[in-house]
Amino acid sequence: MIEPILIFKFALAIIVFAISLGVAAYATYGERKIAGLFQDRFGPNNAGPWGLLQPLADGGKMFFKEDFIPAASEKFLFIIAPGIAMFTALMTSAVIPWTSAIVIAGIPYQVQLADIDVGILYVFGFVSMGVYGIMIGGWASNNKYSLMGAIRASSQMISYELAMGLALLAVIMMTGSLGLNEIVDHQKGSLFGFLPNWNVFKQPVGFLVFLICAFAETNRAPFDLPECETELVGGYHTEYSSMKLGLFLFAEYINMFVSSAIIATIYFGGYNLPLIGRFITDPNTLAVVGFLVFFVKILFFIFLYMWVRWTLPRFRYDQLMHLGWKSLIPIAIINLLVTAGFLILKEY
């Protein structure tokens, strides 16, 4: 007989997978609508009411476009590269606590696919692997523009992971745990009696460093140098077409969704909202409200990604590397030392 926890986890995996794909699909619609708002135009408005069926039309177009593979490419690597990018993007969401435990037939279930003690290390491990899909795709294309875009992406992601990791170390020292559930639990209650007990108020500098690094890690403007069309045509996916190109684009939007969830989890209390427990006592109702609160936080950061894209111009590549190595890493190290000093003083 199959254990109920296995059935629950299997259903949760399908739901998380569907939500990730759905958000990625409609993030493209949302981005085009927001771009239209900023540029004083309508955006998609023909496919369905208010253009709501546009993502389905785009997906159908991707499936039915000609699938072209360059004759001089490394065909096997060329084919698997988009799959690697998509796989790593989806796997990152496995350790995110989506809401508080729900109770089914008197048994509490954590709404989290994998509650592991080293959740942050798991996230960083898969984020680091994401560069392989981009690098393999650019190299296997046998195109100098694709290769240059892949090299840019790899050096950019490696550089900004250092500052991101240093910013996270300060949160880990304050929490005393690498588990995302413990980090969320540590942010319950209030700070000074009127502020939410969120890490963003305890680590504002670390949050700012982490946010900037998240933009660079997801290759979003103003750090979209790997796809810079004015210099590299289309960057690492120049030679891709049909659904292979669609997988690369989907992976970018899924990464944006997951990174928004990670930011909300680590710095904005995850599914916590101050005083919510005083008004809601039923655990299942609390879980539903907690999920909605968490999702609103995620949507805010997705909007922030889009807002920045259509507001700021992209950096030059030397400015990008200068910011990462000469600005963000020193700031993150100083923030880490100040946090350590404060914690030592607090002990005494």
Task: Kindly report, residue by residue over 140-188, the tens digit of the pLDDT.
Answer: 988 888 888 888 888 888 889 899 999 999 999 999 889 999 999 999 8
Tokens read off for 22: 């759905």
pLDDT band at 202 (very low <50, low <70, confident <90, very high): very high
Q: What is the mean pLDDT of residues 314-340?
A: 92
| Inside any domain, residue 242 | yes
| 312 is a domain residue | yes
With 80 as the cut, is the pLDDT of residue 40 above it? yes
Residue 41, pLDDT > 80, answer: yes
Q: Is residue 139 part of a domain?
A: yes
The rounded percent of the chain whose pLDDT value lies above 90 is 35
pLDDT at 326 exceeding the cut of 60: yes
pTM for the full predicted model:
0.92
- At 208 the pLDDT is 96
Residue 254, domain member (yes or no): yes
Q: Provide the pLDDT for residue 277.
A: 66
Q: Is 176 a domain residue?
A: yes
Q: Give tens-digit pLDDT for 60-75.
A: 888 888 888 888 888 8
Range of the domain at 235: 71-347
The reported pLDDT for the residue numbered 201 is 92
> Could you tell me the maximum CA-CA distance found in the chain, to the nearest angstrom?
68
Q: Is residue 318 part of a domain?
A: yes
With a cut of 80, say whether residue 192 has pLDDT above it.
no
The secondary structure of 172-204 as a DSSP string is HHHHT-S-HHHHHHTT-SEETTTEE--HHHH-H
Mean pLDDT over the full length of the chain: 88
> Average pLDDT, stretch 198-204?
93
Does residue 262 sit within a domain? yes
253: in domain: yes
When divided into structural domains, the chain yields a total of 1
